[in-house]
Amino acid sequence: MGKRLYQLAVEWSRNPPGTIKEAYEVVKGIKRRKTIVNGSRSVHAARLAVTQAAKDIRQARDLRHPWSPKPGIAAKRQPEQNLHSRLALFRTRAFRNALNAARYRFDTTPEIMLTNHVEEIGVSQSSYLDWHYYSNATRYPKKVVKTELTIPATWRRCVQAQGIALLGGLLTLDATPVSDANGVRIFSASWMAQGRGYDLSVVRGFIAVGQGENYHASTPQKAASGLAKKLRQAARAAGVTDELSNTALARMVDAQPSLFVTLNDAKTVGACDHGIQNWCLSVGLDYEARRATLREVYFAYQRHPVREARAAILVALRKRRRSFANAHRSGQDHLAGIAS
C-alpha cells in the first residue's frame, strides 16, 4: 500500500465513510495509486486494503488507549454497536495475552473472532502472494499466511477462570468440565497445536489437571492415567537428591554433545505426546525422528525453556552415567576373575 492510501486509512480509522459508494468515490479520486495486494490496481482492491488497514489502525489505537471516562464527568451513553465492540475487545485482550505467552509462530498478527457456536471454534488460515515484500531486485513474491482464530465468547469464564488457559505450552481454546474427583479435574477440551512453519491445527481431546500438573490425551482414561504417572515421576524426583540437577547443565552438554535425547526420555518424565510434538515443532526439532542430540535439545531448551525438556535432558545424562558405571563395574569383575 502506498503513502496516499495509508494516509486515507488513518483518516478512515477516525472518520469512516458513510457508505461503500462514498468509499469507492474517495479511493477513485486518488490519482497515482500504487499497486495493491496480488498486483491489482483496481479500485475494489484499493478500497478493501484501505478498509482493512483502517480497521487494524483503530484496533491498535484502542489497545494502546482504551476508552475511559474522565474523572468527575459522567460517561455519555454510547451507541449499542460501540458497547459491543468494547466488550469484544475486552474479551479478546485476555486471550491475546495468553496467545503471546504461548509462543506460537505467526506470519502476520492473527485476527481473533468470538462465537457462541461450538462448531465454529477453531483455526482458519489462508495465504496470498505479496509481490512487494521483497526489494525490486528480486522477482519472487513472498507467501503471506493469514490466521484467524475463533474462540468462544465465554473463553474468560470457561477457560481462563479455570486456570487452564496455557498448559504445557498448549493454548486451550475451549473446555467443558467432565469430572472432579480426588483432586483431579478432567475437561473435554480443544487446544491449538503448532505444525510445520506457520501451520496451526486444533486438537480435540481431554485434559487432566491436578496438583500443579496436567496431561493431554485423546480419552479421559488416558488423561487420568498420564497425569497419575506424571505425578509419580514428580514425587520421585522431589524425594531423591539428583546431583545432575545441581551441576551446570551447559558444562555437561559440552562434555558429551553427541549424546541422544529420545522421545522415550521425555515420556519417562511424564510429558504427553501432544506437548512433546508441539514443543519440538515450535523449536524446529524433527518430531518424527524421535530423537535429537543433546546439544540440539539443549539449544532448543534455551530458546523455549520448559520443565519437561530439562527433565528429559537429565534423564538422558543419568542413563549415560549409569551405563558407564555398569561398564566399569563389569570390567572390574572381569579383571578380578582373571586375577583369581
Residue 97 neighbours by CB distance under 10 Å: 13
297/61: higher pLDDT: 297
229/270: higher pLDDT: 229
pLDDT band for position 303 (cuts 50, 70, 90): confident
Q: Do the bridges between strand 142-152 and strand 111-115 make them parallel or antiparallel, or are there none, so unpaired?
A: parallel
258/148: higher pLDDT: 148
Q: In percent, how much of the chain has pLDDT > 90?
A: 25
Q: Does 79 score more than 70 pLDDT?
A: no
In a domain, residue 230? The reply is no
pLDDT band for position 33 (cuts 50, 70, 90): low
The rounded distance, in Å, linking the Cα atoms of 200 and 228 is 29
252/339: higher pLDDT: 252
Domain that holds residue 54: 1-68
In a domain, residue 112? The reply is no
Final residue of a structural domain among 24, 43, 68: 68
Q: What is the pLDDT of residue 246?
A: 44
Q: What is the pLDDT of residue 281?
A: 80
Whole-prediction pTM? 0.59
The rounded distance, in Å, linking the Cα atoms of 340 and 165 is 65
In a domain, residue 192? The reply is no
In a domain, residue 258? The reply is yes
Q: Does 251 score more than 70 pLDDT?
A: yes
The rounded distance, in Å, linking the Cα atoms of 193 and 175 is 15
In a domain, residue 86? The reply is no
Final residue of a structural domain among 20, 48, 68: 68
Task: Return phi, psi of residue 313, to 5°.
Answer: -60, -45
Q: What is the pLDDT of residue 34?
A: 62
Q: Does 95 score more than 90 pLDDT?
A: yes
Q: Does 219 score more than 90 pLDDT?
A: yes
In a domain, residue 153? The reply is no
In a domain, residue 76? The reply is no
Q: Does 310 score more than 50 pLDDT?
A: yes
Final residue of a structural domain among 19, 49, 68: 68
Number of domain units in the chain: 2
In a domain, residue 236? The reply is no
Span 267-296, mean pLDDT? 83
Q: Does 292 score more than 80 pLDDT?
A: yes
Span 236-240, mean pLDDT? 53
Interior angle at CA 12, CA 141 and CA 147, nearest 5: 40
Condensed to tens digits (0 to 9), the pLDDT of residues 154-201 reads 999 999 999 999 998 899 999 999 999 888 999 999 999 988 889 999
